[in-house]
Structure 1
Amino acid sequence: MRLAAVILAGGEGRRIGGNKPLALMGGQTLLDRALAFARTWTGDVAVSLREPGQFPLPDDVTALIDEEGAGPLAGLQPALRFARQKGLQATLTIPCDTPFVPRDLPHRLCDKLGGGVGAVLATSGGMLHPACALWRSNVIDALPSYRTTGRSSLKGFAAHVGFTTADWPCEPFDPFFNVNNLDDLATAERLLRNR
């Protein structure tokens, strides 16, 4: 299946003191870690930003601008539009603050994207990770009707288009551990050293 990989990086990062994608972990920014994963999966890579020029991107990466006022869906709509314009069947989203995403993420999610589902969401330890998901690019057509419900959650939109899940073990640690603050960043550094 041909897919686009879009890194969701438009959050304000208040709890970490600013531009979270540029936070350093193991001598590499969180964004650079996410880009390294994405580039192994596809040549069609984009980053969803809060605003134009939020931070510089490499020349081979497309900058997408979040939809204003769309809440958690802000990065998904431009991601789906990017994939559709490229003629790609699916859109893989990963947040920039999840530094240990499994390398087999797109393959396992693609395996589950069958018949009547519009998305496959990653799970681990009984937790759903709707930002780590594979979306059929045509689900962009369902966004207007979902927005009329007044909801803006990724999980809610996944339910709206129909979804299934793919599960990962949490040993030796949760691969979907995400960095929300400086303590989380220190934990991620420790996990990286002990890998």
Structure 2
Amino acid sequence: MRQPLGVILAGGLARRMGGGDKGLIPLVGRPLLSHVIDRLEPQVAGLALNANGDPARFDDFNLPVLADSIDGFAGPLAGVLAGLDWAASQGVDTIVTAAADSPFFPCDLVPQLQLAADLDAAEIVLAETSDGRHPTFGLWPTALRDDLRAALTGGLRKVVAWTDAHPSTTALFPAGDLDPFFNINTPQDLARAKAAL
């Protein structure tokens, strides 16, 4: 199995952080996005960023920036679709997604998702901890991109509503004092992340 491509989902509106790009918020002297790149890049064959608006604001990261192809704010699934279309154009069968505001996800995310896919003969795998499923962290096949496009065009927005309609499973990750998929949504979360680092 060829290594998947990685797609960092940074298309959120960050309302609880006052708007703007959460990935550009400093965390211990570096943008939050840099921490996410450091975790995901060694696990994948290539990396891109899903974000809307002017891509120039991400120039310092030297990554392809993939905009949503679905009009309006369609949520994480629109970012997954953008990633799937990009991967298909590269001749790659799968992508792994990670959220731009989660700096502590496991360094073995990709192999664990792939292992779960093999064990359960699943097309889609989502990360899971004792806190539940984490639908922005997943393994997705490019073969389902037209199905996803149709679902999004039809108004579907909830990730698990789409994944549960296909052969899917989860990869279980241990959660200690801090869930590895903890994401930064508020200034309080940012303070907690700084303390953890």
TM-score, normalising length: structure 2: 0.89
Secondary structure of the equivalent of 1:151?
coil
Q: 1:59 to 1:23 in 2, by over 3 A?
A: closer
Consecutive unaligned residues in structure 2, runs of 5 or more:
none
1:96 and 2:100 correspond: yes
Q: Specify whether residues 11 and 91 from structure 1 end up closer, same or farther in structure 2 by C-alpha distance, changes over 3 A only.
A: same
TM-score by length of 1: 0.90
Q: Match of 2:85?
A: 81
Determine helix, strand or coil for the equivalent of 1:140.
helix
The count of residues paired between Structure 1 and Structure 2 equals 192
Partner residue of 1:143?
A: 148
d(CA) in 2 for partners of 1:156, 1:128: 13
Partner residue of 1:178 out of 161, 175, 183: 183
Amino acid in the other structure paired with 1:7: I
After alignment, is 46-55 or 127-136 more displaced? 46-55
In structure 2, what is the equivalent of residue 189 of structure 1?
194
SS in 2 for 1:174: coil
The answer on 1:105 being equivalent to 2:104 is no
Tell me which moved more, 166-175 or 54-63.
54-63
What do the CA deviations read for 1:73-131 (whole angstroms, capped 9, x no partner)? Answer: 22111111111111112110000001101000000001111365221000011410010
| Closer/same/farther in 2, CA of residues 181 and 101 from structure 1, 3 Å limit | same
Structure 2 CA distance for aligned equivalents of residues 56 and 131 of structure 1: 20
Among 33, 37, 47, the alignment partner of 1:31 is 33
Aligned position for 1:16:
17
Question: Given the superposition, is the C-alpha separation of residues 152 and 54 from structure 1 closer, same or farther in structure 2, using an over 3 Å criterion?
Answer: farther
| Compared CA separation, residues 45 and 11, structure 1 to 2 (3 A) | same
Deviation at 1:31, TM superposition (A): 0.7
Runs of 4+ aligned residues of structure 1 deviating over 4 Å after TM superposition are: none
RMSD: 1.8
Map of 1:68 onto structure 2: 71
* Matched residue type, 2:80: L
Q: 122-131 or 10-19, which moves further after superposition?
A: 10-19
Give the gaps of 5 or more residues in structure 1: none
For the structure 1 residues 173 and 160, does the alpha-carbon distance in structure 2 shift closer, same or farther, using more than 3 Å as the test? Answer: same
Change (3 A) 1:135 1:190: same
